[in-house]
Every structure is written in structure tokens, then in C-alpha cells.
Amino acid sequence: MLAGILLIIIPVLYGGISLLQFLINDPAYSANQLRQDLFRAGQARAGVLLVLSLTSLKYVDKTNLTDSLKAIVRSFIPASAILLPAGFFFSVFDANATKPNGFINLAYGGAVLLAAGLVILGIGLVRSPDREEKH
């Protein structure tokens, strides 16, 4: 179910179309290198983190994690796919921005959630029953 929701609410294609529209129709976007860099970074992370989120969901049930840790993994990694790009986009939404605003902290928060979710998932997979049976 979560995978379906992610595919609906994180339309990465929209971000690419938005960037294209900025490049074509907004001279202020082209004049602001910081904004271009952070928007591109946000767009790139959105796609990669969406795929990582969907992939990680396939592995959660293969772990021997508790239900609460599984819930953390299922929420932290997809949340990072929203927070990290949002931090990049919203921190320079103003066409005249010369430095990121406070929204950049969303990216840091997303990075922490991503790291925590991946470490928990990794530990769960290393300690999974399937792995232990093969030894």
C-alpha cells in the first residue's frame, strides 16, 4: 500500500517539467546559479530517493526487526524522499536568493532520517533469519 501511495504523491516527473519551464520561461532562474544548483540537486535526489524508498520497502519484511522498527524504516526512508528535495527547493524559492534560507534544514532532517532508516534496515537484513539459516 505504501509503495502505491509513494508512486502517487511523489511525482518526480513534475519536478523535471518544472525545471524545464524555469529554464525556458524564467530569466531570473537562469541568472541565479545557486538556485539552479539547488533545484537540480533536489530533482536528482527526489528520483533516486523514490527508487530507494520503493526498493527498501521490499526488504523490510525479510528482516527480524520488531514491528516498531519495521514501521520506522517504512516511514523514515520515504520521508527522506520528501524532506531532502523539499529542503533544496524551498530554501531558494525566491528568485533573488543569494544563500539558502531556513528551509535548507529540511534537507538535513531528511538526511538524518535516511541514514537512520538505512542503518536499521541494514542491521535487520544482516541479522535476518534467512541469512542465519544458511550458515
Write the pLDDT tens digit of every residue in 12-71: 555 666 666 666 667 776 778 888 888 878 877 888 888 899 899 999 989 999 999 999
The b/e string for 6-45 (b: 16+ C-beta within 10 A; e otherwise) is beeebebeebeeebeebeeeeeebeebeebbebbebbbeb
Give the H/E segment covering residue 66: none
Name the DSSP letter for residue 128.
-
Q: Do residues 67 and 120 lie in contact, with contact meaning Cβ atoms separated by under 8 Å?
A: no
For the record, the C-alpha cell of 68 comes out as 516498531
- pTM for this prediction: 0.79
